[in-house]
Amino acid sequence: MIKNNYRTYCAIILCFLASLSFSAIPKNDQGELITSLAPLVKKVAPAVVNIRVSQTVRSRSPYDDEMFRRFFGTPNIPNNEREVQSAGSGVIVDAKNGYILTNHHVVSGAEKIQISLINETTLDAEIIGSDPATDIAVLKVDVGDLVDINIGNSDNVEVGDFVIAIGNPFGLGNTVTSGIVSALGRTGISSSGYEDFIQTDASINPGNSGGALVNMQGELVGINSAIISQSGGNVGIGFAVPSEIAQSIMSQILEFGEVRRGLLGVSIHTIDEESAEILGIEADSGALITAIEPGSAAEEAGLKVDDIITKVDDEEISDARELSNAIGLKGSGDNVIIEFIRESNILLTNATLGQQKINNQIGSDIHPGLVGAHFSSRKDRPGIEVAEIEPGSPAAQRGLKKGDIIIAVNRLKVENIQQLERIAKKNSILYLMFERDDRTLILRIQ
């Protein structure tokens, strides 16, 4: 009797363990268990490339300090510039035209970019466009023997979905790791930019940036972008830019040559329990409109100061940052449905978003010779102000100073940063005409 009971218990435990092991194995579209990811990897791995970036940096020396030079002069010292290389990953999304998606931070400041295919073929690449705010960049290579990947709809991704990550961690090309989607809609990972990350426990390490996050159907659902780690290595918390965002940024870059980010035209403040109590309102979350720009999308949609925005296209808005994300991740001209509270009434309105203007930019995103400069468009009159200059940087070496106002480039008048960027994309040498201390000067930037 005891022996029979023991056998029964063992059988129950074995069945339970078997059910656990089978539940951890993903299934295909036909409901069949996937016992190996090899067929999937063979299908998608050729679309993932290794990226090698080269750029010239200048080492700091005491002679970079203006006070030091004033007292001791500037001796003849050897050129302390050196070439540095970094590595990342990319994903071929259009084999016919040679377009590759990667991260902005992988190629920022690059003077030379090369990509390596899975068959070890090496090709030169150029940057078609880049968006620091979403950390997405689009590269182009001459069409060769390329294989692309289908872009999936990241809006259909759910927590618990099985995914694989492919990239170039620590220079180990075409490394494949697997895991699940740990969370969706992650924000606050960086201090700036627009975020709506997919979180995954698939191993992501330095060098994976720009690589592919792929679902079990072999579709690209994210561009691996960031990790949280105290050691710099993988701890099971990685983040990917959703494919819907990456595809939207790429489409805008290819169509317009720039990112035309949506603009509602409001100033906002986060509503929390404390502010709700002070203002005597029922909502304990949302974004309070504190100002509206004349002629903006918000004004045309009938929004008013003191309205509290709680949803954008059925997406809950709990604070000001979430509203900025929701609007900033959409394109200009997009129509959005906004739910808001006005005098305790819940109302809906449609808004057609305007276009944000780029008011601030770093030189490394414009031209290699402008690395180390920070630019801002002036609100009161045309021109581009040099807001900051990093000592010893290429921009400083070429003679730019904080406070310079750029008014023309290659004899073409420029009124904002977008115009400077367009000229820099077409020319490797720039002649900057700028104003400094009531004088007009010209600098050659190469």
Gap between the Cα atoms of 365 and 76, Å rounded: 31
Lowest-pLDDT choice from 231-240, 308-317, 344-353: 231-240
pLDDT digits (tens, 9 = 90+) for 273-288: 888 888 777 777 888 8
* pLDDT in the model for residue 15: 45
Query: How big is the CA angle at 381 (ends 380 and 385), to the nearest 5 degrees?
Result: 95
Lowest-pLDDT choice from 217-221, 358-362, 390-394, 433-437: 358-362
Q: Work out the pLDDT band at 18, boundaries 50, 70, 90.
A: very low
Active centre residues (catalytic)? 105, 135, 209
Mean pLDDT over residues 254-259, rounded? 81
Percentage of the chain exceeding pLDDT 70: 82
* pLDDT in the model for residue 71: 52
CATH code of the domain made up of 262-355: 2.30.42.10
CATH code of the domain made up of 43-141: 2.40.10.10
Lowest-pLDDT choice from 4-18, 135-149, 344-358, 364-378: 4-18
Closest CA to 351 of 321, 327, 319: 327
Which helix (H) or strand (E) element contains residue 324? helix 320-328
Query: How big is the CA angle at 107 (ends 102 and 112), to the nearest 5 degrees?
Result: 125
* pLDDT in the model for residue 220: 92
Look at residue 135 and tell me whether its pLDDT is greater than 80. yes
- Mean of pLDDT over the chain: 80
Q: Work out the pLDDT band at 25, boundaries 50, 70, 90.
A: low
Locate the domains of the chain by residue range: 43-141, 150-256, 262-355, 360-445
* pLDDT in the model for residue 14: 44
Q: Are 446 and 369 in contact (CB under 8 A)?
A: yes
Closest CA to 51 of 156, 151, 171: 171
The fold for domain 360-445 equals Pdz3 Domain (2.30.42)
Look at residue 383 and tell me whether its pLDDT is greater than 90. no
* pLDDT in the model for residue 303: 93
Which helix (H) or strand (E) element contains residue 263? strand 262-263
Look at residue 189 and tell me whether its pLDDT is greater than 80. no
CATH code of the domain made up of 150-256: 2.40.10.10
Q: Work out the pLDDT band at 73, boundaries 50, 70, 90.
A: low
Lowest-pLDDT choice from 224-228, 328-332, 429-433: 224-228
Q: What amino acid is encoded at 132 in this protein? A: P
Q: Work out the pLDDT band at 74, boundaries 50, 70, 90.
A: low
Mean pLDDT over residues 331-355, rounded? 89
pLDDT digits (tens, 9 = 90+) for 318-337: 888 888 888 888 888 889 99
Q: Are 279 and 130 in contact (CB under 8 A)?
A: no
**Phi, psi angles (nearest 5°) of residue 193:** 95, 175
